[in-house]
Every structure is written in C-alpha cells, then in structure tokens.
Amino acid sequence: PKFWILVTKLSQFLIGYANGLNHNVIAQCRRTIIIKILGTQIDDLILHLEFQTQPNQTMPFRMLDYRIRLHRRYPHHEVEQLVLEQTLIQNIFTKELMQDSVIYQDILAEGREKGERRLILKLLTRRFDTLSPDMASQINALSLEQLERLGEALLDFVSIDDLEQWLQKPQLQ
C-alpha cells in the first residue's frame, strides 16, 4: 500500500494537482527530483525519484550515493527511492491525463520553439548559403514571437543585408 500512496502522490505532484499537499522540492536536475512531503499519511517522507530513459550501469551507484547523502542530511526522515522507467511513466500517465499537465504543456511549448528556431535557421542558411556566427547567435536569442515575425519577413528578404537590417531592430518588426 505504501508504494501506491507514493505513486498517487507522485501523480498528483507531477500533474499539478498537488495544491493541498505540503511539499518542498529539495533538489532537482535533469533525471532526479527529491521531494520532502509533510503532513501526509507518511509523515516527513523524503521521496527520491529517478527517471531512467535507457539502461545505465551507473544507476545503482548513483542511487546509493543519493541514499547516503539524504540519510546524512535528514537522519530522522524515511527515504523512499523510485526509479521510473519510460514504460512505467507511460502506463501511469496516459497521454490524455498528461495533456492537462502544466509541465507537459511547457515541454511542448519548448519543443515548438526549438523546432521553429531550427526551421528558420535552416531556411536562412539555404537562402543565403551561410550565416555568420553573430547572426546565428542573434537569431537564437529571439523570442518565439520575434521568431514568428522573422519567419514571415524572411519570405521577402532578397539579400543577407535584409536580414542584417531586420536583426538590428527586431523589436520594431
């Protein structure tokens, strides 16, 4: 039963329904989230989540290292560690359920922005053969709204000078 309580709390936390749950994110990186959950059926619990997208030989050592460090920092708290593989995540979080998630929406927006940026750089490179590193850097710094405006404007560009002029005043475009 403790496992399912953890999975339920994890689901609520990740999907954004954890408003009533008192929690603190202690640490977070690309593959790891450590959460201190207070006032639940499991008092003062440290939940260490590790996301594994592919087999990794260093996983057991990393999990042991986290366990020791968490025990030293929180000696009176129970520590639960979960390794979530991609298939388990997909089984718990259906696509329909995830579409309501703020995290999911942020990931989608980030992907769309990266895709648009990549497409615009590819189109400009194809039209003008090459872009200077400075121009590419300026384009990479544009907001999504500015990228959309550049995408429309580049259809009218005749030379690289048009792009240079556009980049000198993107807030006006």
pLDDT at 119: 95
Angle between helices 133-140 and 102-128 (to 10 degrees): 150
Residue pair 15/100 in contact (Cβ under 8 Å)? The answer is: yes
Per cent of the chain over pLDDT 70 is 66
pLDDT at 54: 73
Q: Average per-residue pLDDT in the chain?
A: 75
93-148: pLDDT as tens digits: 666 666 777 777 888 888 999 999 999 999 999 999 889 999 999 999 998 899 99
What are the distances in angstroms from CA 100 to CA 5, 14, 50, 128?
22, 11, 23, 42
pLDDT at 138: 92
Quick one: which of 115, 116, 128 has its CA closest to 157? 128
Residue pair 79/70 in contact (Cβ under 8 Å)? The answer is: yes
43-72: pLDDT as tens digits: 566 777 777 777 778 888 888 888 888 888
Domain boundaries, given as residue ranges, for the chain: 2-97, 105-168
Quick one: which of 17, 85, 76, 100 has its CA closest to 49? 85
CA angle 137, 165, 111 (to 5 degrees): 40
pTM: 0.52
